[in-house]
Structure 1
Amino acid sequence: MSFVLNVVIIATGGTVRLTGSGLGCTDWPVCTPGSLVPTEELGIHGIIEFANRTISGPLLIAALLVLFYSWRSRQHRRDLFTISTVVLALVVLQALVGAFVVWMHLNANLVGFHYLVSLVIVCITAAYLVRMYEAPGPRSLAVPRAFAIFTHVTTLFMAITIFVGVLTTGAGPHSGDANIQRDGFDATLLSHIHAWPGYISLALVVVLVVWSAVARLRPARWAIALLVTLLVQIVVGVY
């Protein structure tokens, strides 16, 4: 549930930005200085922004429940307890960053950091799900070491692509509010720079797919899923 909610809040956060609802609520934790919830004058933008921040409550509850579950089994699954503790800390951090995003009127760097924290939480909760179904105890490589190293290199280039993509978005027109000043970078130049590690990532993922298929490795289906997702992302990015 924690994983799903963090994916959802990224989607709703994107909706906030693309609909220009970033300051639909002008204060935090209340929507306006005189109201906890959106008022009629705020219109649809207030509803969209408030709906996004409302997800933080279930997120926190889910993180606490996972931590409690992991705490009960911490004697033989210390890894799960550690991961759930990190997730809870990041959820709290995410809420605080969201507050500063509003207080500082959609500062582009803060908005980008806000997104990156959510993405890190998604990655960590995904790792929790994978480990939850594994047997406790020392872990051994399920793939050749060379394949594992190559996967880490691919992850690095994908992380670079995402980071430059955040900078590109920060320089672009969709700030979350039409009246907000962007970060001052050249969006056209950044879009080209953003594409370079993207092309490299695509090539590396293709190699992962072929390698895992030829060697009949366990991650073969996940590699194909990653390639499909990356292709969809490229189409969306170009569009």
Structure 2
Amino acid sequence: MSVDTAAPPAAPSGPGRRFWDRLPESVDRRIRVFAWLSFIAEVTIIATGGAVRLTGSGLGCSEWPLCTPDSLVPTEDMGIHGVIEFGNRTMTGVVGLLALAVLVLVLRIRAERRDLFVLASVVVGGVVAQAIVGGITVWTGLNPFVVGFHYTASLLLVCVTAAFLVRAYDRPGPRTRAVPTWFAVLTHITTLALAATIFFGVLTTGNGPHSGDANVVRDGFDATLLAHIHAWPGYILLGLVLVMLIAAWALHLPPRRWLIALLAALAVQVFVGVWQAREGLPELLVGIHMVLAALSAAAFTVVVLRLKRPVSGS
């Protein structure tokens, strides 16, 4: 019996070698593909959830987990609102299945890639919790605080799936700081500005005209005043990111390319925010604003993770 002594394929040389070398052997292509699909699904469900709220379809299905007391799916007399709400619920199932697929694929490498296993587990647990919160949202008649928490939790899941993608393309093992201490401190201060911007944005929406149903009682705050308060940390955030980008390019720091993406997303976000305020909050612009907030948070997550690099890759 002959023995195949052929050597394994050599790693490519030239410009592509650096990318090849940084791919961890323990993470195969299927994990990355499903991780990308999971991230896209998490962003998509923010868009579909926004559609529910912006079209006044929050109570399109009056019950949970059923749509009506007698039907899992919307009935004909429920109209378009029932279809939109049930479509968002269906998207929850897609998100859950993709998250579960990532977790199952990571199980076999959980010993050497505990970081990926933990992140995948958080996403699965978060999706289950989100489904329950969605039910509570219906049971409370679209309480604005519960609805706001529901959106914020979805945004956090976008950040976790983004973090999974970053780590899936990094080598496992110890990591070392790749930026000066002052830059890391500035980044974490910027995190607070981002969190404040999102918080006041959610609070503003909870008191505006798009609360999911015409009969929903708002939080009781002045939406016009909140809109101005929401803008202040937003402008501060934009300024801080610009400073970070200039410093990162001057010092050739690893986060610099993602800071470009983050600054672009924030600039568009500010433009859309001003535009929607001047146009009386049209539904489409508000929906775009919601999705951009999630993408900005995801980009910032990548920036934070790029503050360190794998020791083996240094």
Q: 2:80 aligns with which of 39, 44, 49?
A: 44
Matches within 5 A, 1:66-105: 66-105=102-141
Is residue 141 of structure 1 aligned with residue 177 of structure 2?
A: yes
Q: Which runs of 5+ in 1 are unaligned?
A: none
Could you tell me which residue of structure 1 aligns to residue 253 of structure 2? 217
Tell me the secondary structure at the aligned position of residue 140 of structure 1: strand
Deviates more, 1:214-223 or 1:107-116: 214-223
Stretches of 4+ aligned residues off by more than 6 angstroms: none
Q: Which residue type is aligned with residue 19 of structure 1?
A: T
Work out the CA distance in 2 between the residues paired with 1:230 and 1:199: 9
Q: What's the offset of the Cα at 1:148?
A: 2.0
Aligned position for 1:116: 152
What is the match of residue 31 of structure 1?
67
Q: Note if 1:237 corresponds to 2:237.
A: no
Matched, 1:201 2:234: no
What residue in structure 2 maps to residue 55 of structure 1?
91
Match of 2:192?
156
Find 1:126's aligned residue among 158, 162, 166.
Answer: 162
Q: Once the 2 structures are TM-superposed, how far is the Cα of residue 189 of structure 1 from its aligned partner?
A: 1.6
Unaligned runs of 5+ in 2: 1-36, 277-314
The alpha carbon displacement at 1:112 in A equals 0.1
Partner secondary structure for residue 177 of structure 2: coil
1:145 deviation in Å?
Answer: 2.6
Deviation of 1:28 (Å):
1.0
Out of 171, 185, 208, the residue aligned to residue 207 of structure 2 is: 171
Q: What is the aligned-residue identity percentage?
A: 62
Distance 2:108 2:189 in 1: 36
- Give the deviation of 1:146 after TM superposition: 2.1
Q: TM-score, normalised by structure 1?
A: 0.97
Deviation, 1:197, is 0.9
TM-score by length of 2: 0.74
The structure 1 residue matched to 2:228, chosen from 154, 174, 192, is 192
Bigger radius of gyration, 1 or 2? 2
CA distance in structure 1 between the aligned counterparts of 2:267 and 2:58, rounded to whole angstroms: 29
Q: How many residues align?
A: 239
Question: Residues 57-90 of structure 1, C-alpha deviation per residue, up to 9 Å, x if partnerless?
Answer: 1111111111122221111111111111111111
Q: CA deviation at 1:218?
A: 2.2
Q: Which amino acid aligns with 1:79?
A: D
Partner Cα separation in structure 2 for residue 78 and residue 84 of structure 1: 10
1:6 maps to 2:42: yes
Letter in 1 for 2:141: H
- Letter paired with 2:211: S
Secondary structure of the corresponding residue to residue 206 of structure 2: helix
Does 1:18 find its partner at 2:40?
no
Shift in Å, 1:42: 1.1
Task: State the alpha-carbon separation in 2 of the partners of residues 62 and 70 from structure 1.
Answer: 12
| Partners of 1:109 and 1:78 in 2: CA distance | 35
Q: Deviations over 1:163-201 (max 9, x none)?
A: 111111111111111111111111122112111111110
SS in 1 for 2:80: helix
